[in-house]
Amino acid sequence: LAFYEKTGNQDALAMAEKTLEQLFRGGIFDHVGGGFSRYSTDTQFCIPHFEKMLYDNALLILAYCKAYSLTKRALYREVALRTASYVLKELALSSGGFAAGQDADGPGGEGSFYAFRPQEVHRVLGSADAEPFCIRYHIIEPGNFHGASIPNLLGGALPEDRLSQSLAKLYAYRLARERLPLDDKVLTSW
């Protein structure tokens, strides 16, 4: 984005936009709770290493805000807001600082916090809302991660506003199902 700003090179802007959109579409972005995992463990960016770090999310907020300021594309604004919301909800400490990160391993093992089975989604949302959600976010049998699925938008259209209530319900369900430990050291340089 900085190279585009400096030179006006449209190829640079197109490459940056493709990268930002694909990061959002993949499982590296937490479609249910917001925020980004550190990196992907596969070439499709579907299965992340599930640890979420403050510094990664802070830098990605800046990148999506810059992309929005240059293109006015609503997707970039939405991703920046959802990522900032994640940081404020999950990483903010009562002391006023921010935790350095959120661990990858929860009580159910690595990734269990983020993965869903279709029957879980049906139980939480009901069939009428679960069916379009599972199709849109690729929640399928046999799953893409140890028998469950990491929600992603790699195979289809961007999310619809009508699915936002489903995301909120699944987020509340996920928080009640298990909690991830925080790396609660505060690093002021982050």
Residue 159 pLDDT greater than 70, yes or no: no
Task: Summarize pLDDT for 127-150 with one digit per residue, the tens.
Answer: 999 999 999 999 999 999 999 999
Q: How confident is the model at residue 190 (pLDDT cuts 50, 70, 90)?
A: low
Mapping DSSP to helix (H, G, I), strand (E, B) and coil, where does residue 178 land?
A: coil
Query: Tens digit of pLDDT for each residue in 101-124?
Result: 999 887 788 889 999 999 999 999
pTM of the model: 0.92
Residue 106: the pLDDT is 78
Per-residue pLDDT for 186 more than 90?
Answer: no
Contact 169, 128 (CB under 8 A): no
What's residue 171's pLDDT?
95
Q: What is the mean pLDDT of the chain?
A: 92
Compute φ and ψ for 116, nearest 5 degrees: -135, 150
**66-79 pLDDT, tens digit each:** 999 999 999 999 99
The better pLDDT of the pair 179, 84 is held by 84
Lowest mean pLDDT among 3-7, 19-23, 146-150, 175-179: 175-179
Strands 52-53 and 101-102: antiparallel
Dihedral, CA atoms, 42, 43, 48, 52, nearest 10 degrees? 130
Specify the pLDDT at position 10: 95
DSSP state for residue 158 in the 8-state scheme: P
pLDDT for the residue numbered 188: 77
Q: Is there a contact between 129 and 162 (Cβ–Cβ < 8 Å)?
A: no
pLDDT at 157 over 80: no
